[in-house]
Structure 1
Amino acid sequence: MSTSSPQGDTVPDPSDTRIVPSAAPARTLYVDTIGATVRRQRERLLVQESTDQGRKTLAAHPACDLDSVILVGQGAHCTTPALRFCLSRDLTVLLLSRHGKVQGYLSPPSSTKRVDVRQAQYAATRRPESRVLCARAWVGAKLHNMQRRLYRRACRNTCPALERALESFDALERRHMRADSLDVLRGLEGAATRAYFQAWPALIQREEPTFNFDGRNRRPPGDAVNALLGFTYALLQKDVRAACATAGIDPSLGLLHSPRSGCPAAVLDLMEPFRPALADSVVLSLINRRAVAPEHFESRDRGIYLNKSGRTAVYKAYGSRRTDTVTPPDYNRSLPYVRVLELQARRLAEALTEETDFTAFRL
């Protein structure tokens, strides 16, 4: 169980009032202790476990310092009064499996208050040209951010794998600018992602067999690196889902990703540029700075997964990273990453309702 770190306030620009996100990130409360229960005490949330001597308080946080609560695995609980309290304070409660799968959300009714955004979103799905424009923005931004991550490594110490990947990105970028269909854009995104992960052994600067990486796999993850990637993507998905709720976007109705039952397609759309920019940087930092070790993983259910101490390391690293500041494109001040996610959702909502161009996040 851990929480991410707070960040100081920033002052919004009055000229950006339509799309300015909240001033500063609050913290996410991760409850990952078997037998722990979240309870309400006045304006606070307590995390307690039962002992022979009674209830032991593991953590206590004022609700005003939190933006969400994550219950990990079947052993973490939350009382009904605490759930009602979270909803009354606009806190999202997320259920996350120990494998890192997002199992569901409990969100306040305010998440559906923007009917105009929903209507515009539904209309856009019926206009192929609108879908292609947004998809091109997301794919282009993801290609750019993956290329930037590889280029930063190549500037310090290049190798044939990095050179090949960067050459591939140059060609894919030229094709992306001419792409005029969703199928072509999806194919380019898939090719770029394969080239990107083929170069990852050059980004992992650690001589440890546990962190050997032969490519992306999941369901189940076949190695420690994929276990880290899958779990960190789940935390990113949680933050993007909250951003969609703030902006009034239907999380299930995507433009790049085709809507299908049980798939948060719009969340996956908005996630794409942030996978290399936010989540992948967390994974590489955890490995290269030796914040995770072989003992942080376990083999079960035909896959490799993080154990409790490993998940705690990810919570800490991701919680710190989401509060790092960056200046988004066409914006005149820096924001914490968690608020850049919100800004992206708001910009998408504005582009849909006003039928203007959408600018995806680029490093």
Structure 2
Amino acid sequence: MPWPLYKRRPPRRKSKRKDHQRFDRVHLHPTGESNKFDSWRQIERGESERLMEQEGDNMDIAGDGILPQQHGPAGDGEETDPTQYYENRLKMLDSLRSAGVEPYPHKFDIAISIADYVAKYNSLGAGEHLLTVTESLAGRVMSKRVSSSKLFFYDLYGDGVKVQVMAGASYSEVAETEFYKCHSVVKRGDIVGIIGYPGRSSRGELSIFARNLILLSPCLHMLPNQRTGRCTAVAGKTTRAKADADCWVPGIGRNTEAYVLKDQETRYRQRYLDLMVNHQVRHIFRTRSRVISFIRRFLDERNFLEVETPMMNLIPGGASAKPFVTHHNELNMDLYMRIAPELHLKQLVVGGLDRVYEIGKQFRNEGFDLTHSPEFTGCEFYMAFMQTTMT
């Protein structure tokens, strides 16, 4: 018969036995001895590394843009405005100094660069760890992902190469009570030192498992936000394939849509910031250096002598252009910044140096755009007793 509506059903008696006690009771051997996991906490400790590996895989996916990044309580705090962010960072420095921690330590020993680390341990298999090997790296944090108060992930960059840092409380040398405090002060843009052992996650992401993290140089200003969209050319590819696709080489047009910092005015006025967040740009600098090295090597092999001629002259000459004027205080006279080294190089040829060249700065006080600068590098060379034939 149904329970009368005017009567209340008596509450069920709750068991006084706790969850982990019930779990232990179920996992008893027939002999009465407990299983190797005597309590839920022991099981949690036994599974911690596997769970961290699984969390690491999820965070790797989030870092690739497949899943949204999970920001925990120790996130970057970039929801604040840049001014407030700067003030918070200054307060952080004061709090570290008051606690006896120097935010700009004098020295950190680096055993290997990030590029050499990637080349050395690139052959590791998925899930393989070298627990007996200790390496120390240093680089800039460009991404921070928080899984929990006991598990952090960083993307550490150095010389344009990235390696993942996996920091877990279970294998850290820092006390568990201080682990969260140590990692909560690290933000994007900070330069940190990592001491740990090499390995790969189960998804194959090359990582260094941090036993210790040292803040070397905090970044006080907020970096531009990482791009949220994905380039169609690398959509669905792994992190390694995406990094290869982002690598610019001469002869290939630059994909400016993939840049984190896209504003052209900011990029050219704050070149250091452009280099910091747009990793393709550093390849342009390297290419320019190699071009100049090739020109210098080409001329040296043909017995040309490299010289340096004066930058300031009494009269402007060598080209038809408006010069920059400066004043020499000791001589109390105006001088002109050179617009070309032609006259001085020809004088050297007259003096008996048959083959000379110079690679140096020239100055022309005229209009400029993205392809013309009032201050530029030029190369001029002269060779005696040589006739060129025009065909």
TM-score range, shorter chain: under 0.3
Select the structure that is richer in strand.
Answer: 2
Q: More relative contact order in 1 or in 2 (CA 8 Å, sep 6+)?
A: 1
Q: What TM-score does the superposition give when structure 2 sets the normalisation length?
A: 0.18
Q: TM-score, normalised by structure 1?
A: 0.19
